[in-house]
Amino acid sequence: MINKTAILLISCPDQRGLVAKFANFIYSNGGNIIHADQHTDFAAGLFLTRIEWQLEGFNLPREFIAPAFNAFAKHHEVFAQPLDAKWELHFSDTVPRIAIWVSRQDHCLFDLIWRQRAKEFIAEIPLIISNHSSLKVVAEQFGIDYKYISITKENKLEQEIQQLELLRQYKIDLVVLAKYMQIVSADFINQFPQVINIHHSFLPAFVGANPYHRAFERGVKIIGATAHYATPDLDAGPIIEQDVVRVSHRDEVDDLVRKGKDLERVVLARAVRSHLQNRVLVYGNRTVVFE
Amino acid sequence: MINKTAILLISCPDQRGLVAKFANFIYSNGGNIIHADQHTDFAAGLFLTRIEWQLEGFNLPREFIAPAFNAFAKHHEVFAQPLDAKWELHFSDTVPRIAIWVSRQDHCLFDLIWRQRAKEFIAEIPLIISNHSSLKVVAEQFGIDYKYISITKENKLEQEIQQLELLRQYKIDLVVLAKYMQIVSADFINQFPQVINIHHSFLPAFVGANPYHRAFERGVKIIGATAHYATPDLDAGPIIEQDVVRVSHRDEVDDLVRKGKDLERVVLARAVRSHLQNRVLVYGNRTVVFE
Amino acid sequence: MINKTAILLISCPDQRGLVAKFANFIYSNGGNIIHADQHTDFAAGLFLTRIEWQLEGFNLPREFIAPAFNAFAKHHEVFAQPLDAKWELHFSDTVPRIAIWVSRQDHCLFDLIWRQRAKEFIAEIPLIISNHSSLKVVAEQFGIDYKYISITKENKLEQEIQQLELLRQYKIDLVVLAKYMQIVSADFINQFPQVINIHHSFLPAFVGANPYHRAFERGVKIIGATAHYATPDLDAGPIIEQDVVRVSHRDEVDDLVRKGKDLERVVLARAVRSHLQNRVLVYGNRTVVFE
Amino acid sequence: MINKTAILLISCPDQRGLVAKFANFIYSNGGNIIHADQHTDFAAGLFLTRIEWQLEGFNLPREFIAPAFNAFAKHHEVFAQPLDAKWELHFSDTVPRIAIWVSRQDHCLFDLIWRQRAKEFIAEIPLIISNHSSLKVVAEQFGIDYKYISITKENKLEQEIQQLELLRQYKIDLVVLAKYMQIVSADFINQFPQVINIHHSFLPAFVGANPYHRAFERGVKIIGATAHYATPDLDAGPIIEQDVVRVSHRDEVDDLVRKGKDLERVVLARAVRSHLQNRVLVYGNRTVVFE
């Protein structure tokens, strides 16, 4: 049983020796690497890596790891040129706090709560935010706070201020838009960028409203769902996970909606799980999902 | 072994009793139905059916079936209101003639030829048309006529006249655009509407040029291929078949192209086979593919 | 909106004219067929069909339909030889009553309850039976009766008598073994044959205990789940639905279990839905699932 | 463009620091790692890795790499305990030589030849061996030597001696059983263990003869194909790749065969490609397929 680990997610311009150098940083401090994966995007000239190692036996106390790695990354004798890395350090025993945002549909909400309780991912879900009051009963059933914040064209910006305040108050690390049928403003995303959305189409097909109706009208033979990080551009953020299901001429819009729900559930759950396990590295508008 | 059959593909406004009435038309003439499937599009108010029956023992000689069905469809005592049906009659022992159009890529061409020789579908392939000369060697290898017709912006319209002339001359029933990297004009389609195209994306995503490059840039986690009837609108015709394959951050554009080829092959082959077995019924911009 | 319909599921030796004759039976009594599908198993010489028609406007009161069809099926002028049909008559407004049997795992239980409440299928779930007490809390949460019936090698037969008594008492139409980790005896199945089981492998691979462990040991690259009717032979009953998911060397047994749960849920749900919509026709050890 | 690379495939008992130590071996000799992936099988206590680096700029001439790594692996100051590694060294510019074995079916043969000519993998195919003469025409079409070696119960062992002699003579590195419908003896496998077989079922279901017939009889809703290394136990060797396709009650055995061919083609091709790119590491009866 591997208990406590540290995880480094690093992206930097590619140069010779990076695999060895990063591994050495861990090893020379007594760390045992249990997962290391890297990817080089040759077109972009970028090296991207995820390294996970056991904290037990590691010589550096956890609060010193970040400064030590920072010093290491700037060490001019180790790296031929300044490393210019973007990196994040995570600890596996940190329990992230999630706010789930919903409208009227409950399938993703139920699914995420079930998975959290089944420990498919480790997180707390202290808060549900909705622009409807209809799912309050679910929140109560599971003992989660439920904040009803109505959204109109007129009040949207001020309501977002209240939403941000709630996220701060509940110390939320990740917002999951679990079929929240409202567009979140660019301003909001800039202030709180850790937002995963589920869109009910195989993006970039059917961006925006009513994707199942439009899929039906177009007569497609497969439908899909896409989990992505929300960005200021609608449905255009970095894709984390997608999946599809076959449909036929017998499927009416209602059938697409029903089949799509099964997709939305698993696609969103896989994306949230990968994110929470610090397996997702965003660069440009793309993701590396380390396995 | 079922040898010779007739197939009716019918679409008409829905009314009470259509299943029984069409079945009776066959049965009362001594026919044994071996496949009957129907679909009602309730939103469109349309009844769509495919009926296949054995010619052996059928009382009507095959040349009388169409006029007899025509008379039947107009029989005011049988139908509450005029039937107003669109219908096609096919015979399973007709061997359709296919022209395959290619540019430089040979994978779909090879695949279709292999399947035709393996009798996965019954057809003749007497003609290959290409805007390049590079696949002439394949045509020779299999003893198929190969017509090289160069296409430029300037000569396109007159070259299409030559292409149409070739289709007439070779008595072609179906054109398969098997990675023919040119847009066929609306005029051409109007004169020869039986054209199946393979597009290397899960339409409606990535309509037009370079779908694999654009899929890579968008960072999708699945890619697809779509076989559809060509219409005057680019990549917007009725979809016959689609399929997808999972990709990851490790896949560069070349890998998408390689994985996509496997998709294009099977998606195009399934669509061509369904069409040749008279299983595809187009209505509006949609298809029913009877199984 | 189509409200009340009747459904006939018929299997009989193939003979000429069956499509027309069955359709005529409905039509001549004023029925409007909204779904008709048939399949001929040429090897077995069997004709299998599902016909669904609207009760509104049908001339026969519903209690007369079965005797009328029975008389029709024996009518020696209609059928060249005695029809020798097995058939079932169902009405879409009958609400079947389901007992869900579970052991300790709750994912299929939750999923079925959610779908029933979301009206993905129409049924009542008045009873949960378990050989453990651990899921009683779920039953209470949703207001469903929960009967804990411990099973040991010694008491199994007498406990099955109690189980059968409960099914009678609750007027149960269908038992769903939703990860009930006990073998049900042949005697039980003979007395109550309407039992759907979910097995956590792509049968016939890994019949019996611990399929995920054995899949891991065999080093398979895909795992599956199978929903089938329970028969006296373990995991050998007619298959209704199967699906699979890709795994890799990175997946340990726990990961197979986790990924498998998502499969089990949807595969079982699809099978139960098809059964409840009277779309499944069993013949020999095979099923036709009409779509 | 990355031209020439060296690849190390290593499996050894897990110990602390392996990632760093192996990377250091490459880096300290001036190598630039372009792919490094590792997997720890915690249950088996095994560390498995694939490291690929550019030969350009590497300080060791290629003939010294193996002895140098051998010395390194035994260096008692580097490793806490003797490394006890199994390892293979490959060079990307080595062109492996494949013998394709077939019986009467040509679909996998055509497919592999097409892919080799399309450079989907780098290999030579100088030899086809068959127990039938029917595919000689394909061999001639592509200029490949074709050896017809009839197999009977009586002559099998002596014919295998002749087959082994041919493999030596043609300097074959890999035998691909591309629908070779004969069992290869344990003796043969012991003498020539590099054999990939395609089996037309999702193993371990339907081991042995006539899997499609048995799949039909069992009434499965999906069929599969499996590429695996041949071992003395029939269809029980380490699985490299599997895939499946959905079937229905409408599919007769012939349809399973036809759909299966599309599976067999891609599953075998993916396995051969992974093997040729030195991405497959066998341990126990399992494979790691590095991506």
- For C135-163, the pLDDT digits (tens) are 999 999 999 999 999 999 999 999 999 99
Burial class (CB in 10 A: 0-12, 13-18, 19+), B101: buried
Q: Which residues of A are less than 8 Å from C1 in CB distance?
A: none
- B107, B118, B291 ranked by CB distance to D250: nearest: B291
Segment D247-260 mean pLDDT: 96
| Residue C143 CA: distances (Å) to CA of C66, C113, C126, C266 | 36, 11, 9, 24
Q: Calculate how close chain C gets to D103, using CA atoms only, in Å.
A: 27
What pLDDT score was predicted for residue A75? 83
pLDDT of residue A1: 47
Structure confidence at residue D2 (pLDDT): 53
Give CA–CA dist C205/B78, Å, rounded.
54
**pLDDT of D1 higher than 50:** no
Our CA dihedral for C238, C240, C246, C250, rounded to 10 degrees, sits at -60
Q: Which of D37, D93, D233, D235 is catalytic?
A: D235
Asked if A85 and A198 sit in the same domain, the reply is no
Please give the pLDDT value at position A2. Answer: 53
- Considering only CA atoms, give the Rg of chain A: 21
Phi, psi of B77 (to 5 degrees): -85, -25
pLDDT at position B2: 53
Q: Are residues C87 and C106 in the same domain?
A: no
Residues B147 and B195 in one domain: yes
Same domain, A77 and A110: no
Range list of β-strands (E), B163-233: 174-177, 195-199, 222-229
Given this model, what pLDDT does residue D129 score?
Answer: 98
pLDDT band at A80 (very low <50, low <70, confident <90, very high): confident
Give the mean model confidence (pLDDT) for residues A14-20. 92
Task: Using the Cα atoms of residue D76, residue D81, residue D84 and residue D87 in order, give the sign of their dihedral.
Answer: negative
Yes or no: say if B122 and B94 are a contact pair by the CB < 8 Å rule: no
Structural domain ending residue among the three candidates B60, B91, B122: B91
Pairwise CB contact (< 8 Å): C291 & A110: no
Residue of D nearest to B254 (CA): D120
Residue with tokens 């028609």: C53
Stretch (H or E) spanning A163:
helix A156-169
Q: Are residues C86 and C169 part of one domain?
A: no
Q: Which helix (H) or strand (E) holds D254?
A: helix D253-276
A251's tokens:
């499927």
| Co-location of C263 and C166 in the same domain | yes
pLDDT for C1? 47
Q: Which residues, other chains included, contact B165 with Cβ-Cβ below 8 Å and sequence gap of 6+? A: none
Please name which of D28, D23, D29 lies closest in space to residue D58, comparing C-alpha atoms: D29
Calculate mean pLDDT across residues C236-256. Answer: 97
Whether C164 and chain B come into contact, CB under 8 Å, resolves to no
- B207: DSSP letter: -
Q: In the structure encoding, which two tokens stand for residue D194, read together?
A: 């590099």
Average pLDDT for residues D7-28, to the nearest whole number?
94
Upper half-sphere CA count for residue A68 (Cβ side, 13 Å): 14
Residue C5 main-chain phi, psi, to 5 deg: -135, 160
Supply the residues of C annotated as catalytic.
235
A46 and chain B in contact, CB less than 8 A: no
Give me the percent of chain D exceeding a pLDDT of 70: 99
Report residue C243 CA to chain centroid gap.
16
Q: Are residues C271 and C136 in the same domain?
A: yes
Do β-strands A97-102 and A174-177 pair in parallel, antiparallel, or remain unpaired?
Answer: parallel
For residues B87 and B101, state if they share a domain. Answer: no
Instruction: Provide the residue type at B78 as one letter.
Output: V
The CA distance from B275 to B98, in Å, is 12
**Residue in this structure with the two tokens 């699914």, named with its chain if needed:** A111
For residue A149, the 8-state DSSP code is: -
Which of the four pLDDT bands, split at 50, 70 and 90, describes residue D131?
Answer: very high
**What would the 3-class secondary structure string for C212-265 be?**
HHHHHHHCCCEEEEEEEECCCCCCCCCEEEEEEEECCCCCCHHHHHHHHHHHHH
Q: What count of other Cβ atoms lies within 10 Å of the Cβ of residue A16? A: 17
pLDDT in tens, B9-32: 999 999 989 999 999 999 999 999
Measuring CA to CA, which residue among B200, B183, B169 is closest to residue B105?
B200
A79 pLDDT higher than 90: no
- What's the number of CA atoms in the CB half-sphere (13 Å) around residue D87? 27
Using an 8 Å CB-CB cutoff, list chain D residues near B262: 266
> CA D274 to CA D270: how far, in whole Å?
6
**Calpha distance B228→B236 (Å, rounded):** 8
Residue A237: other Cβ atoms inside 10 A: 25
CB contact under 8 A, C107 and A114: yes
C29: which residues sit within 8 A by CB, 6+ positions away?
C58, C59, C60, C68
The crossing angle, in degrees rounded to 10, of helices B253-276 and B107-117 is 30
What does the alpha-carbon distance between residue A58 and residue A51 come to, in Å, rounded to a whole number? 14
Strands (E), B14-162: 32-41, 46-54, 86-91, 97-102, 124-130, 145-148
Contact call for residues C123 and C98 (beta carbons, < 8 A): yes
Residues in chain B, how many?
Answer: 291
Show which of D62, D91, D120 is a domain's final residue. D91
Q: Which positions ≥6 away from D64 have C-beta within 8 Å?
A: none
d(CA A103, CA A281): 29
Candidates B16, B18, B20; nearest CB to C20:
B20
The residue of chain A with its CA nearest to that of D39 is A35
**What mean pLDDT do residues A159-186 have?**
97
CB contact under 8 A, A20 and D33: yes
Domain boundaries, position A116? 97-289
Q: How far is CA D102 from the centre of its chain?
A: 16
| Nearest chain D CA: its distance from B112 CA (Å) | 12
A248 neighbourhood in chain B, CB within 8 Å: 289
d(CA B21, CA D241): 51
The answer to whether C33 contacts B20, with C-beta atoms less than 8 Å apart, is yes
Neighbours of B70 (CB within 10 A): 12
Residues 6 or more apart whose Cβ sits within 8 Å of residue C140: C146
Sheet holding B145-148, edge to edge: B145-148, B124-130, B97-102, B174-177, B195-199, B222-229, B239-246
Yes or no: say if A83 and A12 are a contact pair by the CB < 8 Å rule. yes
Neighbours of chain C (3+ CB pairs under 8 A): A, B, D
How far apart are alpha carbons A175 and A99 in whole angstroms? 5
Query: CB contact, 8 Å: A291 with chain C?
Result: yes
Task: Give the model confidence (pLDDT) of A87-97 as tens digits.
Answer: 999 999 999 99
Give the domain CATH number at D184.
Answer: 3.40.50.170
Q: Give chain D's mean pLDDT.
A: 95
pLDDT of C14 > 60? The answer is: yes
Using an 8 Å Cβ cutoff, are B126 and B144 in contact?
Answer: yes
- A56 and A107 fall within a common domain: no
> What single letter denotes the amino acid at residue B220?
V
State the pLDDT confidence band at A71, using cuts at 50, 70 and 90: very high
Q: How many CA atoms lie within 13 A of C185 on its CB side?
A: 15
pLDDT tens figures, D192-207: 999 999 999 999 999 9
> Distance from CA of residue B110 to its chain's centroid?
18
Count of residues for chain C? 291
The DSSP output letter for A83 is -
CB D43 within 8 A of CB D22: no
Contacts of C72 (CB under 8 A, 6+ apart): C25, C78
Which residue among B111, B173, B235, B251 is the active-site one? B235
Q: What is the pLDDT of residues B72-113, one digit of tens each?
A: 998 878 887 788 899 999 999 999 999 999 999 999 999 999
Dihedral sign for Cα B64, B70, B73, B78, please. Answer: negative
Task: List pLDDT tens digits, range C88-104.
Answer: 999 999 999 999 999 99
- Tell me which of C29, C56, C91 is where a domain ends: C91
Same domain, D81 and D134: no
Average pLDDT, chain C: 95
With a cut of 70, say whether residue B1 has pLDDT above it. no
Residue A105 has pLDDT above 90, yes or no: yes
Percentage of chain B with pLDDT > 70?
Answer: 99
A189, C86, C106, D148 from D107: Cα distances, Å: 53, 43, 46, 18
Q: Are residues C227 and C251 in the same domain?
A: yes
Chain C residue whose CA is closest to A263:
C266
DSSP for residue C201: S
Q: Cα–Cα distance between A39 and B255 in angstroms, integer?
A: 15
Mean pLDDT throughout A31-56?
Answer: 94
pLDDT above 60 for C21: yes
Among B185, B268, B187, B180, CA closest to B224:
B268
Chain A residues within 8 A of C104 when measuring between CB atoms: none
For the segment C189-213, the average pLDDT, to the nearest whole number, is: 97
**Which spans in B29-106 are helix H?**
62-73
Number of domains making up chain D: 2
The CATH number of whichever domain residue B57 belongs to comes to 3.30.70.260
pLDDT reported for residue C290: 96
Regarding whether B138 and B266 lie in a shared domain, the answer is yes
* C-alpha atoms less than 13 angstroms from C-alpha of C236 in its C-beta half-sphere: 7
Q: Is D235 a catalytic residue?
A: yes
User: Are B86 and B70 contacting, i.e. CB atoms less than 8 angstroms apart?
Assistant: no
